[in-house]
Structure 1
Amino acid sequence: MRDRRNTNLSISSTDSTNSAVSSRSARDSFNDKRHSSPPPPPLSPTLPAPAIGRLKAQPIWRRSIALKLVLLGFAVFVLWRHIARPWSENRVGKLVEQTEAQTEWDAGNDLPGEPTALVVADPTGTSKWTISIPHNWTFPLPSRYYKAMCSHGNALRNSMNADGGRRGSSRWWRKSEYFAKDYTFLDVTDAENVGALPKSKVATSNVCERSMTFVLESDDASFGQTLLRLWLSYGLAKEEGRSFFLDDSSWAWGRYASYFVPIAKPTCTRPPAHHIVPCPHSAKHLVVSSATTPWTFGSPFQKEFQGHHKHGLASQRRIFELIRTGYEALFHLTGEDALYAASRIAKFRDDAERSNGLLVGMQIRRGDLHPFEYQYNGDYLPLERYADAARSLLQSQRGASSDTRDRSPEDFARSPLVLASDDPDILEDPELIQAASPLVIQKAQTRIQLATKATLDLTSPVLPLREPGSAYVKHMDENTGWEGGFYSALFFSLGGAKAGDNQTLPEQALRLRNLVGRAYLLDLAVLSESDGVVCAVSSATCRALAVMMGWNALIEGRFVNVDDHRSWSWDSQR
């Protein structure tokens, strides 16, 4: 085999001259080759190719560089998408094709004669959507306008996002878009400042920076649902730092102050009526009502306030706390009703203490509301189910309370079972009496009672009128009672009122509605002080009672739902 060490150097000793030249040549050749990489030896079939150590690190180095380049590119993309893009969104450019041409106005053109969502162009040429409400329109607007404006506004925003290349413009760090600013919307105040909308001729000072106005609407007969929305709106306003206002000018139930202590007014002034809009939620001045619920408390609201990694009752904690904030601030009965409720609660507490120290309430809704449970969806839940649940609740709380463990079963049999219902005949129903035995059922309050037709006929009989000597009998309307419970149509017809006309209500109709409302609130006030409550969450009253009792009542099992095994939610959805 050939020795590799002798392949790069040759020395000759023939004579001194040649030797010197050879020496210099050899040194030069040696130096040149010392600083250059030797050529690889020819491959031998019997030897493996020489391994060079430094080449092993090259793939790792290349992968590291590639990874850094990918990360750098992603960082640049994120910066452009989520930092630079909000600036670019303010300059959407020439927007809205022929389909939206009819909804675009300049400040110099005539605005529509009724409230609507439209597209305006500011002085920079940027097109955005806003809401135009004529200055001579009174507040609040009919509910149909709020629905129409939000529906039209959604269509305009979607078109702008598509035309401006902003489809799916959610921020990656947000789990919800509820509080995100709508960059396609130009607030009414800003639209007036840039000349896109005309300014009001009447100057208003000390206007609130941000506000929420809750409207008690005329077409909503559900007192319980109204309370839930009112409390939730108040809690949300406080969460967002908005000043809160209440408008009851067209409420079907009359004036708010006839039931509750008036709400404390903010130190700032409510904005002009044409500045208060139903959407988007990022607007400075919002109006909230039953008509705007799909936009104010719709899917984005649920995603923002429900627990993202929680299910069932636990996912409702934040929403519950918002409603609880409103309840604690606003539910204060006024006048003699507050005194009566306090005395009634004290009376039941004394009765419970003499028997077993526990007080259980029951709320049964009938009328035009039917349960969620499929088997009884067109009917009502069996009364036996309420009674059995009340008895089980009483026994379970007996075991949980150290103060009542030594009481005898006979003591619990004398425990008061407090009942509130929209059906005045239910207390005498044999099915309920037998199912609840030996518990004694008592009415939550006796100050104001809903009467049946039979009761009214006894106290105020209606007799036909006949003129002396005449064969004709004048027809008189029969008494109408609350048989079967609360029906919206019956409520709106009280006192001869016309459906949908709440501006010119007869005094008799308003007085009757007020009595019904006060009776309802007294029932609520008394039941909410119970140690436990049994009800069906298909009823808004049931869901409101849970809020009034507090979160601990839910997690400790002192709030019992007997309808469809659902956990509590403010809107009764799963």
Structure 2
Amino acid sequence: MAPTMDFSQGTHPKVMIAPPRLNLRRAASYQGEKAPTSSTSSRFNFNHLIFSSPPPSPGLPALVPRPRKSSSAPRPSRVLRVLVWTTGLATFLLLIRALIHGGKRIPVVGWAFEDGEGYEMVRQNEPPEFPTPVTVSDRHGKPKWTVYIPPTSQFPLSMKEYSNMCDKCQEVASHVRELRGQSHLSRQTPHDYYYEDPNFIDVRDAEKRGLLPGTETNTRKIGVQAQDGHLMGQRKEGLADLETCRTSITVVLESSDAGLGPTLMMLWTAYGLAQKEKRAFFIEDSRWAYGRYMDIFKSSPVQNCRPPPRYQMLPCPRNAKHLVVSAATSREVFGNSFAAKYENTKRTDINRERGVYDLARVGYEALFHLNDDDQPYVRGRVKDLRARASVPQGNYNDGTIIGVHVRQGDVHPFEYQYNGAYIPLDLYAQKSKELIEERHNSSTPLGGEDVVAKQYSFMVVASDNPDVYEADEFKNAFRAQEQIKLAGKQDAETVVSDPSMMHKFVDEAFGWEGGFFASMFWNLGRTTLHNADALDDVSQEPETPSADAMRLRGLIARAYMMDLAVLGEASDTVICTMSAMGCRLLAVMMGWDKAMAHGNWINIDGDFMWTGVTL
């Protein structure tokens, strides 16, 4: 009998070692033959079925796996290979995208406004779709900042957009200083008006350096949008032949304040500032509450250069090459640093404000030219008043013309005891009488000639309240102008209809009793049928005013301007209240020597000196 296979001495559990006498003939089960099925084959077992490998054969390779050669560089895992391939693909796609976009560099951080309550820094791969300051990286990888206004944005931007952008400019500038470790520079900016932020890049320069989309790209996007707005000060013909202005200031005549005085003072001062800084000057009036500028004044001086693209006109920072000035951005231009620059802080008298006054005076001389209908009337009115004050030949002194400006309405005095009401009219009249007595005192060497001159002295009154002209204190005074009068309620009800006939319903008449009120101004042209839509916030208009409303507003502006023009040119002395901006405008119109040096501008509203732009 053939010996059985013994596995007890094996050293490997899955390897069979054949004894020398083992017949090496292939087993039938591996030759396609059937295994013995006889029950008498008791020594036959099924151990060969336990192993997955066939018995060893001298002609076959060894069943023991060969050890692999060790490698010094381990093979990367499948996850790592996938990550590398993904990164490479993403890099390739970004490169293709950059080539498609012309290789332009994109601002990496913008500032988005959320819910009117705060700002949030957001990372972007494309220029933002709204006006905002953005941070960019220069060619050395250092952070800079600029202001991006989409070329298709409407010009001018809304007051809210301009105001928000000025706040954002300060935040972004501070953020960039922190990134560059220049936090100490922030302490310089409030004190130096002409300080230039070294981290700011103007729009035009940013385009040239590839930090913002270039001019050609913007031109394709702008189309007709480049001509938005209504600019004055530019030529009507031959504009394409001029070079673009190197620097400029554009004043946007839009304000939530219904009063005309603050806008006019800002306009004059901005013009003087533009001349001081050698900037071109433009006026934009497409959304002015009083209508077209040239319906009231003649055009501003024409510039010898072309205004820049509108998206390059920025509200901030103050050292931007093309600066936009409006009521919403006035603090950026006329804030504390402006006062520190142009006020003589070493003086405590009126000369302290001489620098600011001179800027406003330059603007007045260049811009205050009434339209062709009103200017001849003013000239004739001044001539007539001067003739009334002229003493017949043989006397050396003429009478004194005392101009009186009375502002009531929603402007109240600074002086505490009258703050809740108005300066009493008898104070104006009493001060006027004192001035006439002082200047035409019969005790002077001229004797009786001064008595005659006193008889030729009188008051000229301008007021926003029609009832003032009828007051007893001014019964012998003259109106400044009679071309356009603000009617009271009694004047509006003078038309008496026949009670025996039926008439169409007419709104209840109203006048300007009490003076100029902002709420009444914003509701001009609205009927009582729309009282349910009355404004809760008179600083914003709910809709575009009608043509009739704009006509009424224009008449108010013309009357106000003619009042000031007559008082400023005809009066020897002006009495007014500092709380009214019209009073401060009159000081500018009179000139420094006449108004300040000789003391012919008299404020009866507390002990206050003249000031210019009010923020």
TM-score bracket relative to the smaller structure: 0.7 to 0.9
Compared CA separation, residues 465 and 512, structure 1 to 2 (3 A): farther
Query: 2:23 maps to what in 1?
Result: none
Aligned to 1:87: none
Asked whether the 8 Å contact 2:440–2:453 carries over to 1, the reply is no
Provide the C-alpha distance between the structure 2 equivalents of 1:101 and 1:261, rounded to a whole number of angstroms.
45
Structure 2 counterpart of 1:57: none
Q: Of 165, 170, 174, which aligns to 1:158? A: 174
* Distance change >3 Å, CA 170–CA 493, structure 1 → 2: closer
Kept after mapping to 1: 8 A contact 2:110/2:134:
no
The whole-number CA distance in structure 2 between the counterparts of 1:488 and 1:382 is: 22
CA-CA distance at 1:132 after TM superposition: 1.2
SS at match of 2:584: helix
Identify the residue that residue 596 of structure 2 maps to in structure 1: 554
The share of aligned pairs that are identical, in percent, is 38
User: What per-residue deviation string (whole Å, max 9, x for no partner) do you get for residues 49-78 of structure 1?
Assistant: xxxxxxxxxxxxxxxxxxxxxxxxxxxxxx
Given that residues 462 and 476 in structure 1 are in contact (C-alpha distance below 8 angstroms), is that contact kept between their aligned partners in structure 2?
no
Native 8 Å contact 2:459 2:477 kept in 1? yes
Greater Cα shift, 508-517 or 118-127:
118-127
Deviation for aligned residue 1:265: 2.0
Q: 1:428 to 1:95 in 2, by over 3 A?
A: closer
> What are the equivalent positions in structure 2 for 1:285-364 lying under 5 Å apart?
285-354=322-391, 356-364=398-406
Alpha-carbon shift at residue 216 of structure 1 (Å): 0.4
2:196 maps to 181
Secondary structure of 1:496's counterpart equals coil
Asked if structure 2 preserves the Cα contact closer than 8 Å seen for 1:362 and 1:419, the reply is yes
Q: Distance in 1 between matches of 2:441 and 2:317?
A: 51
Specify the SS of the correspondent of 1:117.
Answer: strand
1:490 counterpart = 2:520: yes
Q: Which amino acid aligns with 1:341?
A: V
Which sits farther off after the overlay, 191-200 or 536-545? 191-200
- Give, in whole Å, the separation in 1 of the partners of 2:575 and 2:445: 22
The answer to whether structure 1 residue 532 and structure 2 residue 568 are counterparts is no
Choose from 545, 548, 553 the match for 2:586: 545
Describe how 1:29-428 pairs up with structure 2 within 5 A.
102-103=121-122, 105=124, 109-169=125-185, 176-200=191-215, 201-202=218-219, 206-354=243-391, 356-398=398-440, 407-409=449-451, 411-428=453-470
In the alignment, structure 1 segments of 5+ residues that lack a partner are 1-93, 435-439, 468-473
Evaluate the alpha carbon distance shift between residue 445 and residue 171 of structure 1 in structure 2; reply closer, same or farther with a 3 A threshold: same
After superposition, give the CA deviation of every residue in 1:389-441 in whole Å (9 maximum; x if it has no partner): 222233344469x99775344641441200000000111123x248xxxxx31
Q: SS where residue 328 of structure 2 aligns?
A: helix
Partner of 1:78: none
Mapped to 1, the partners of 2:467 and 2:563 lie a distance apart of 16
SS in 1 for 2:254: coil
- CA distance 1:572–1:506, shift in 2 (3 Å): closer
In structure 1, C-alpha distance between the alignment counterparts of 2:254 and 2:445, rounded to whole Å = 47
After TM superposition, the structure 1 = structure 2 runs for residues 427-438 of structure 1, keeping only pairs within 5 Å, are: 427-430=469-472, 432-433=473-474
Alignment of 1:512 with 2:552, yes or no, is yes
TM-superposed deviation, 1:491: 1.1
Structure 2 unaligned regions, length at least 5: 1-107, 112-117, 221-239, 393-397, 528-533
Tell me the secondary structure at the aligned position of residue 153 of structure 2. Answer: coil
- Offset, 1:503: 7.5
* Structure 2 counterpart of 1:518, one-letter code: R
Partner of 1:24: none
Question: Given the superposition, is the C-alpha separation of residues 379 and 239 from structure 1 closer, same or farther in structure 2, using an over 3 Å criterion?
Answer: same
Find the aligned partners of 2:433 and 2:176 in 1 and give their Cα distance.
59
User: Are residues 567 and 115 of structure 1, via their aligned partners in 2, closer, same or farther at CA, if it must alter by over 3 Å?
Assistant: same
1:229/1:196 CA distance change after superposition, 3 Å: same
Q: Which residue of 2 aligns with 1:459?
A: 495
Change (3 A) 1:121 1:348: same
1:170–1:177: 8 Å Cα contact kept in structure 2?
no
Q: Going by fraction, where is helix more abundant, 1 or 2?
A: 1
The separation in 2 between residues aligned to 1:398 and 1:115, in whole angstroms, is: 63
- Deviation, 1:284, is 0.4
CA distance in 2, matches of 1:419, 1:167: 56
Q: What CA deviation, in whole Å up to 9, does each residue of 1:118-147 have, x standing for no partner?
A: 212223212122111111112111111111
| Structure 1 residue 193: Cα displacement | 1.6
Alpha-carbon contact 2:143-2:180 (below 8 Å) kept: no
String of CA shifts for 1:183-207, please: whole Å, max 9, x gaps: 1211111121222221343288721
> Structure 1 counterpart of 2:572, which letter?
D
Residues 1:522 and 1:308: Cα distance change in structure 2 (over 3 Å): same
Secondary structure of residue in 1 paired with 2:586: helix
Q: Contact 1:364–1:422 at 8 Å: present in 2 too?
A: yes
Residues 165-185 of structure 1: per-residue CA shift (max 9 Å, x gap): 33343899x994111111121
For residues 341 and 520 of structure 1, do their structure 2 counterparts lie closer, same or farther at Cα, with a shift above 3 Å needed? Answer: same
Kindly provide the CA deviation profile for residues 355-411 of structure 1, in whole angstroms up to 9, marking residues without a partner as x: 8332110000000100111111111111121112222233344469x9977534464
Which residue of structure 2 lines up, in the alignment, with residue 16 of structure 1?
Answer: none
Tell me, in whole angstroms, the C-alpha distance in 2 between the residues paired with 1:403 and 1:188: 69
| Selected match of 2:608 from 550, 561, 566 | 566
1-side partners of 2:119 and 2:510: how far apart? 53
Q: Which amino acid aligns with 1:550?
A: G
| Equivalent position SS for 1:335 | coil
Amino acid at match of 2:592: W
- Alignment: residue pair count: 463
Per the alignment, do residues 171 and 484 of structure 1 end up closer, same or farther by CA in structure 2, a change over 3 Å counting? closer
Residues 412 and 131 of structure 1, relative CA distance in 2, 3 Å threshold: same
Q: Secondary structure at the match of 1:119?
A: strand
Structure 2 distance, partners of 1:363, 1:126, is 58
Q: Report the CA distance shift for 1:462/1:533 in structure 2 as closer, same or farther (over 3 A).
A: farther
Counterpart CA distance in 2 for 1:565 and 1:409 is 32
- Are 1:464 and 1:476, in contact at CA under 8 Å, matched by a contact in 2? no
Letter in 2 for 1:496: R
Determine if contact 1:352/1:358 at 8 Å carries over to the other structure: yes
Query: 2:484 matched to which residue of 1?
Result: 448
